[in-house]
Amino acid sequence: MSLAIAAIVLAVLALITQAGVVVLQRAYPAQGENIEVNGASLNVVDIGPRDAAGPPVVMIHGASSNLESMRRPLGEMLARNHRVILIDRPGHGWSTRAEPSDSTPAIQGRMIEQALEKLGIGPAIFVVHSWAGALGARLALDYPERVAGLVMLAPVAYPWRGGVGWYNRLVTTPVIGPLLAYSVTLPLGYFLTGPGARGAFLPQTMPTDFVEATATLLLLRPREFLANARDLVTLKAAVAGQAPHYAAIRAPAVVITGDSDKTVSPNIHSRPFAAVVPNAKLIVLPGVGHMVQNAAPDLVVSEIDEMIGGLMHGAATAN
Protein backbone atom coordinates (compact mmCIF):
# COMPACT_ATOMS: atom_id res chain seq x y z
CA MET A 1 0.00 0.00 0.00
CA SER A 2 2.81 2.42 0.86
CA LEU A 3 4.44 1.85 -2.53
CA ALA A 4 1.15 2.54 -4.27
CA ILE A 5 0.72 5.75 -2.31
CA ALA A 6 4.30 6.82 -3.10
CA ALA A 7 3.69 6.15 -6.80
CA ILE A 8 0.52 8.23 -6.74
CA VAL A 9 2.30 11.08 -4.95
CA LEU A 10 5.15 11.05 -7.48
CA ALA A 11 2.66 10.98 -10.36
CA VAL A 12 0.82 13.99 -8.95
CA LEU A 13 4.09 15.85 -8.41
CA ALA A 14 5.14 15.03 -11.97
CA LEU A 15 1.91 16.53 -13.29
CA ILE A 16 2.42 19.61 -11.12
CA THR A 17 5.97 19.88 -12.49
CA GLN A 18 4.84 19.74 -16.10
CA ALA A 19 2.20 22.38 -15.45
CA GLY A 20 4.80 24.47 -13.63
CA VAL A 21 7.19 24.29 -16.57
CA VAL A 22 4.47 25.67 -18.86
CA VAL A 23 3.74 28.50 -16.44
CA LEU A 24 7.42 29.41 -16.00
CA GLN A 25 8.16 29.43 -19.71
CA ARG A 26 5.20 31.68 -20.36
CA ALA A 27 6.26 34.00 -17.55
CA TYR A 28 9.88 34.14 -18.77
CA PRO A 29 9.78 33.68 -22.56
CA ALA A 30 12.89 33.30 -24.67
CA GLN A 31 14.69 36.45 -25.77
CA GLY A 32 17.49 36.86 -28.24
CA GLU A 33 18.67 34.68 -31.10
CA ASN A 34 19.24 30.93 -31.19
CA ILE A 35 22.56 29.90 -32.73
CA GLU A 36 22.88 26.27 -33.81
CA VAL A 37 26.09 24.57 -32.66
CA ASN A 38 26.83 20.83 -32.88
CA GLY A 39 23.26 19.65 -32.54
CA ALA A 40 22.43 22.14 -29.80
CA SER A 41 21.46 25.81 -29.76
CA LEU A 42 22.78 28.73 -27.75
CA ASN A 43 20.54 31.61 -26.82
CA VAL A 44 22.35 34.90 -27.42
CA VAL A 45 21.17 38.44 -26.60
CA ASP A 46 23.02 41.24 -28.41
CA ILE A 47 22.62 44.72 -26.89
CA GLY A 48 24.40 48.05 -27.11
CA PRO A 49 25.72 49.90 -30.17
CA ARG A 50 27.01 47.55 -32.88
CA ASP A 51 29.51 50.20 -34.02
CA ALA A 52 30.98 50.89 -30.57
CA ALA A 53 34.72 51.44 -30.50
CA GLY A 54 36.86 48.64 -29.16
CA PRO A 55 36.17 44.93 -28.80
CA PRO A 56 32.69 43.73 -27.83
CA VAL A 57 32.00 42.42 -24.34
CA VAL A 58 30.84 38.81 -23.99
CA MET A 59 29.17 38.05 -20.66
CA ILE A 60 28.76 34.52 -19.31
CA HIS A 61 26.84 33.60 -16.16
CA GLY A 62 27.68 31.10 -13.45
CA ALA A 63 25.78 28.15 -12.00
CA SER A 64 22.08 28.15 -11.07
CA SER A 65 21.35 31.14 -13.30
CA ASN A 66 21.06 32.41 -16.86
CA LEU A 67 22.12 35.42 -18.93
CA GLU A 68 19.67 37.73 -17.15
CA SER A 69 21.84 37.60 -14.02
CA MET A 70 24.61 39.24 -16.07
CA ARG A 71 22.33 41.67 -17.90
CA ARG A 72 20.98 43.36 -14.76
CA PRO A 73 22.53 45.71 -13.84
CA LEU A 74 26.02 45.16 -15.27
CA GLY A 75 25.23 44.28 -18.88
CA GLU A 76 22.80 47.16 -19.28
CA MET A 77 25.35 49.57 -17.84
CA LEU A 78 28.04 48.35 -20.25
CA ALA A 79 25.65 48.52 -23.20
CA ARG A 80 25.51 52.29 -22.93
CA ASN A 81 28.94 52.46 -24.56
CA HIS A 82 29.82 48.94 -25.74
CA ARG A 83 28.40 46.12 -27.77
CA VAL A 84 27.44 43.44 -25.24
CA ILE A 85 26.82 39.78 -26.06
CA LEU A 86 25.00 37.83 -23.34
CA ILE A 87 24.92 34.05 -23.60
CA ASP A 88 22.89 31.37 -21.86
CA ARG A 89 25.39 28.61 -21.20
CA PRO A 90 24.50 25.21 -22.75
CA GLY A 91 21.56 23.70 -20.91
CA HIS A 92 20.70 26.93 -19.08
CA GLY A 93 18.06 29.54 -19.75
CA TRP A 94 16.97 29.01 -23.34
CA SER A 95 20.11 27.23 -24.54
CA THR A 96 20.12 23.47 -25.09
CA ARG A 97 22.66 20.65 -25.01
CA ALA A 98 23.36 18.01 -27.60
CA GLU A 99 24.36 15.55 -24.87
CA PRO A 100 23.82 15.51 -21.09
CA SER A 101 27.60 15.27 -20.76
CA ASP A 102 28.12 18.72 -22.31
CA SER A 103 28.93 19.99 -18.83
CA THR A 104 32.64 20.87 -18.83
CA PRO A 105 34.30 24.24 -19.49
CA ALA A 106 36.13 22.73 -22.46
CA ILE A 107 32.96 21.51 -24.20
CA GLN A 108 30.94 24.62 -23.41
CA GLY A 109 33.85 26.81 -24.47
CA ARG A 110 33.93 25.09 -27.85
CA MET A 111 30.19 25.65 -28.31
CA ILE A 112 30.47 29.32 -27.39
CA GLU A 113 33.43 29.77 -29.72
CA GLN A 114 31.39 28.29 -32.58
CA ALA A 115 28.42 30.55 -31.82
CA LEU A 116 30.58 33.67 -31.77
CA GLU A 117 32.18 32.62 -35.05
CA LYS A 118 28.75 32.27 -36.64
CA LEU A 119 27.81 35.73 -35.34
CA GLY A 120 30.95 37.23 -36.89
CA ILE A 121 32.29 38.31 -33.49
CA GLY A 122 36.04 38.89 -33.43
CA PRO A 123 38.28 39.14 -30.37
CA ALA A 124 36.24 40.10 -27.33
CA ILE A 125 36.44 40.94 -23.65
CA PHE A 126 34.99 38.01 -21.70
CA VAL A 127 33.26 38.87 -18.42
CA VAL A 128 32.64 35.67 -16.48
CA HIS A 129 31.13 34.99 -13.08
CA SER A 130 31.61 32.14 -10.61
CA TRP A 131 31.38 28.73 -12.42
CA ALA A 132 32.08 30.55 -15.68
CA GLY A 133 35.45 31.66 -14.31
CA ALA A 134 36.67 28.17 -15.21
CA LEU A 135 35.05 28.59 -18.62
CA GLY A 136 36.71 31.96 -19.23
CA ALA A 137 40.11 30.55 -18.31
CA ARG A 138 39.53 27.60 -20.63
CA LEU A 139 38.56 29.89 -23.49
CA ALA A 140 41.74 31.91 -22.96
CA LEU A 141 43.77 28.68 -23.14
CA ASP A 142 42.01 27.05 -26.08
CA TYR A 143 41.16 30.12 -28.18
CA PRO A 144 43.72 32.82 -27.35
CA GLU A 145 42.93 34.68 -30.57
CA ARG A 146 39.31 35.00 -29.42
CA VAL A 147 40.01 36.38 -25.94
CA ALA A 148 41.23 39.98 -26.07
CA GLY A 149 40.78 40.31 -22.33
CA LEU A 150 39.38 38.43 -19.36
CA VAL A 151 37.39 39.88 -16.47
CA MET A 152 36.86 37.27 -13.76
CA LEU A 153 34.16 37.98 -11.16
CA ALA A 154 34.36 35.77 -8.05
CA PRO A 155 35.67 32.99 -10.31
CA VAL A 156 36.05 29.28 -9.78
CA ALA A 157 39.50 28.33 -11.07
CA TYR A 158 41.00 25.57 -8.91
CA PRO A 159 39.98 22.36 -7.13
CA TRP A 160 38.59 22.82 -3.65
CA ARG A 161 38.17 20.68 -0.57
CA GLY A 162 35.01 18.63 -0.38
CA GLY A 163 32.44 18.37 -3.11
CA VAL A 164 29.17 20.05 -4.08
CA GLY A 165 25.72 19.97 -2.54
CA TRP A 166 24.45 16.41 -1.92
CA TYR A 167 21.31 17.04 -3.98
CA ASN A 168 23.43 17.75 -7.07
CA ARG A 169 25.07 14.35 -6.78
CA LEU A 170 21.70 12.74 -6.08
CA VAL A 171 20.01 14.10 -9.21
CA THR A 172 22.94 13.05 -11.40
CA THR A 173 22.46 9.44 -10.22
CA PRO A 174 20.99 7.24 -13.00
CA VAL A 175 17.24 6.56 -12.78
CA ILE A 176 16.61 8.11 -9.37
CA GLY A 177 18.03 11.49 -10.42
CA PRO A 178 15.71 12.10 -13.37
CA LEU A 179 12.81 10.68 -11.34
CA LEU A 180 13.36 13.31 -8.67
CA ALA A 181 14.07 16.09 -11.17
CA TYR A 182 10.80 15.47 -13.01
CA SER A 183 8.70 15.24 -9.85
CA VAL A 184 10.03 16.87 -6.68
CA THR A 185 12.46 19.58 -7.80
CA LEU A 186 10.05 22.21 -9.06
CA PRO A 187 7.39 22.08 -6.31
CA LEU A 188 10.04 22.00 -3.57
CA GLY A 189 12.47 24.35 -5.27
CA TYR A 190 9.82 27.03 -5.72
CA PHE A 191 9.98 27.69 -1.98
CA LEU A 192 13.77 27.36 -1.70
CA THR A 193 14.94 29.49 -4.63
CA GLY A 194 14.56 32.82 -2.84
CA PRO A 195 16.47 31.81 0.32
CA GLY A 196 19.17 30.17 -1.80
CA ALA A 197 19.66 33.30 -3.88
CA ARG A 198 19.77 35.47 -0.76
CA GLY A 199 22.55 33.28 0.59
CA ALA A 200 24.69 33.95 -2.49
CA PHE A 201 24.38 37.70 -1.91
CA LEU A 202 25.50 37.69 1.72
CA PRO A 203 26.68 39.86 3.38
CA GLN A 204 24.98 42.14 0.86
CA THR A 205 21.19 42.24 0.65
CA MET A 206 19.59 40.69 -2.39
CA PRO A 207 17.45 43.13 -4.43
CA THR A 208 13.80 42.42 -3.70
CA ASP A 209 13.00 41.76 -7.37
CA PHE A 210 16.13 39.73 -8.18
CA VAL A 211 14.54 36.29 -8.56
CA GLU A 212 11.76 37.60 -10.80
CA ALA A 213 13.87 40.07 -12.79
CA THR A 214 16.53 37.47 -13.62
CA ALA A 215 14.15 34.58 -14.43
CA THR A 216 15.95 32.50 -11.80
CA LEU A 217 12.97 30.16 -11.45
CA LEU A 218 13.70 28.74 -14.91
CA LEU A 219 16.36 26.70 -13.11
CA LEU A 220 13.58 24.55 -11.65
CA ARG A 221 12.68 23.08 -15.03
CA PRO A 222 13.85 19.46 -14.88
CA ARG A 223 16.15 19.55 -17.90
CA GLU A 224 17.89 22.71 -16.64
CA PHE A 225 18.13 21.48 -13.06
CA LEU A 226 19.81 18.31 -14.31
CA ALA A 227 22.19 20.30 -16.54
CA ASN A 228 23.13 22.59 -13.66
CA ALA A 229 23.79 19.64 -11.36
CA ARG A 230 26.03 17.97 -13.95
CA ASP A 231 27.96 21.21 -14.39
CA LEU A 232 28.65 21.35 -10.67
CA VAL A 233 29.47 17.67 -10.22
CA THR A 234 32.01 17.63 -13.09
CA LEU A 235 33.63 21.01 -12.38
CA LYS A 236 36.21 19.98 -9.79
CA ALA A 237 37.89 17.45 -12.08
CA ALA A 238 37.75 19.92 -14.96
CA VAL A 239 39.59 22.69 -13.13
CA ALA A 240 42.10 20.19 -11.76
CA GLY A 241 43.00 19.35 -15.35
CA GLN A 242 43.29 22.90 -16.66
CA ALA A 243 44.76 24.76 -13.67
CA PRO A 244 48.39 23.70 -14.31
CA HIS A 245 48.25 25.54 -17.65
CA TYR A 246 47.08 28.97 -16.45
CA ALA A 247 50.56 30.47 -16.74
CA ALA A 248 50.15 30.14 -20.52
CA ILE A 249 47.30 32.68 -20.58
CA ARG A 250 48.56 35.82 -22.30
CA ALA A 251 45.39 37.93 -22.41
CA PRO A 252 45.18 40.77 -19.91
CA ALA A 253 43.06 39.68 -16.96
CA VAL A 254 41.31 41.43 -14.10
CA VAL A 255 40.13 39.33 -11.19
CA ILE A 256 37.56 40.98 -8.92
CA THR A 257 36.46 39.16 -5.78
CA GLY A 258 35.02 39.87 -2.35
CA ASP A 259 36.86 38.96 0.82
CA SER A 260 33.55 37.88 2.38
CA ASP A 261 32.61 35.45 -0.39
CA LYS A 262 31.45 32.22 1.29
CA THR A 263 30.42 30.57 -2.00
CA VAL A 264 33.75 30.68 -3.88
CA SER A 265 36.77 31.26 -1.65
CA PRO A 266 39.04 34.05 -2.95
CA ASN A 267 42.01 32.37 -1.25
CA ILE A 268 41.48 29.12 -3.14
CA HIS A 269 40.59 30.63 -6.51
CA SER A 270 41.11 34.34 -7.21
CA ARG A 271 44.41 34.94 -5.44
CA PRO A 272 46.25 31.92 -6.93
CA PHE A 273 44.89 32.62 -10.40
CA ALA A 274 46.00 36.25 -10.35
CA ALA A 275 49.40 35.19 -9.01
CA VAL A 276 50.13 32.74 -11.84
CA VAL A 277 48.64 34.51 -14.89
CA PRO A 278 51.35 36.82 -16.26
CA ASN A 279 49.19 39.84 -17.10
CA ALA A 280 46.64 39.70 -14.29
CA LYS A 281 45.39 42.32 -11.87
CA LEU A 282 43.68 41.35 -8.60
CA ILE A 283 41.07 43.47 -6.84
CA VAL A 284 39.75 42.24 -3.48
CA LEU A 285 36.72 44.13 -2.23
CA PRO A 286 36.35 44.33 1.56
CA GLY A 287 33.04 43.20 2.95
CA VAL A 288 31.73 41.98 -0.42
CA GLY A 289 30.23 38.55 -1.04
CA HIS A 290 29.79 36.40 -4.13
CA MET A 291 27.61 38.66 -6.30
CA VAL A 292 30.35 41.09 -7.27
CA GLN A 293 28.53 42.35 -10.37
CA ASN A 294 25.64 43.49 -8.17
CA ALA A 295 27.69 44.77 -5.24
CA ALA A 296 30.14 46.89 -7.26
CA PRO A 297 28.90 47.32 -10.85
CA ASP A 298 30.47 50.77 -11.28
CA LEU A 299 33.89 49.39 -10.38
CA VAL A 300 33.49 46.47 -12.79
CA VAL A 301 32.44 48.80 -15.60
CA SER A 302 35.41 51.06 -14.86
CA GLU A 303 37.85 48.12 -15.04
CA ILE A 304 36.34 46.94 -18.33
CA ASP A 305 36.54 50.45 -19.77
CA GLU A 306 40.16 50.70 -18.69
CA MET A 307 40.97 47.34 -20.27
CA ILE A 308 39.31 48.28 -23.55
CA GLY A 309 41.08 51.65 -23.56
CA GLY A 310 44.42 49.95 -23.04
CA LEU A 311 43.77 47.50 -25.87
CA MET A 312 42.75 50.29 -28.24
CA HIS A 313 45.81 52.35 -27.32
CA GLY A 314 48.04 49.34 -27.88
CA ALA A 315 46.49 48.69 -31.26
CA ALA A 316 46.89 52.34 -32.28
CA THR A 317 50.53 52.35 -31.19
CA ALA A 318 51.22 49.15 -33.12
CA ASN A 319 49.83 50.74 -36.26
Give the model's pLDDT for residue 166.
Answer: 84
> Taking every pair of C-alpha atoms in the chain, what is the biggest distance, in angstroms?
80
pLDDT digits (tens, 9 = 90+) for 85-97: 999 999 999 999 9
Does residue 26 form part of some domain? Answer: no
Does residue 1 form part of some domain? Answer: no
> Confidence class of residue 306 from pLDDT cuts 50, 70 and 90?
very high
Mean pLDDT over residues 6-29, rounded?
92
> Confidence class of residue 6 from pLDDT cuts 50, 70 and 90?
confident
Domain interval for residue 65: 31-175+187-318
Give the model's pLDDT for residue 319.
Answer: 64
pLDDT digits (tens, 9 = 90+) for 199-254: 999 999 999 999 999 999 999 999 999 999 999 999 999 999 999 999 999 999 99
Residue 297 burial (CB < 10 Å; 0-12/13-18/19+)?
middle
Residue 50 burial (CB < 10 Å; 0-12/13-18/19+)?
exposed
> Confidence class of residue 1 from pLDDT cuts 50, 70 and 90?
very low
Q: Give 150's strand partners.
A: 126, 253
Q: Tell me how far apart the alpha carbons of residues 242 and 145 are, in angstroms, rounded to a whole number.
A: 18
Is the pLDDT assigned to residue 42 strictly greater than 90? Answer: yes
Mean pLDDT over residues 172-187, rounded?
91
Grouping H, G, I as helix, E, B as strand and the rest as coil, residue 284 is: strand
Angle at 200 between CA 59 and CA 78, to 5 degrees: 25
Does residue 153 form part of some domain? Answer: yes
CB atoms under 10 Å from CB of 80, counted, come to 12
Q: Model-level pTM?
A: 0.96
Does residue 281 form part of some domain? Answer: yes
Mean pLDDT over residues 118-136, rounded?
97
Q: Tell me how far apart the alpha carbons of residues 155 and 269 are, in angstroms, rounded to a whole number.
A: 7
Share of the chain above pLDDT 90, in %: 86
Give the model's pLDDT for residue 100.
Answer: 87
Does residue 125 form part of some domain? Answer: yes
Does residue 72 form part of some domain? Answer: yes
Q: Is the separation of the CB atoms in 144 and 77 below 8 Å?
A: no
Q: Tell me how far apart the alpha carbons of residues 226 and 156 are, in angstroms, rounded to a whole number.
A: 20
Is the pLDDT assigned to residue 9 strictly greater than 90? Answer: no
Q: What are phi and psi of 40, to 5 degrees?
A: -120, 180
Give the model's pLDDT for residue 46.
Answer: 98
Does residue 17 form part of some domain? Answer: no
Does residue 241 form part of some domain? Answer: yes
- Domain total of the chain: 1
Grouping H, G, I as helix, E, B as strand and the rest as coil, residue 220 is: helix
Angle at 178 between CA 1 and CA 70, to 5 degrees: 135
Q: Is the separation of the CB atoms in 122 and 116 below 8 Å?
A: no
Is the pLDDT assigned to residue 81 strictly greater than 70? Answer: yes
Average pLDDT over the chain, rounded to an integer: 95
CATH number at residue 210: 3.40.50.1820
pLDDT digits (tens, 9 = 90+) for 142-165: 999 999 999 999 999 999 998 888
Give the model's pLDDT for residue 162.
Answer: 87
**Which CA distances in Å does 78 have to 90, 123, 181, 198, 258?**
24, 17, 36, 25, 21
pLDDT digits (tens, 9 = 90+) for 195-207: 999 999 999 999 9
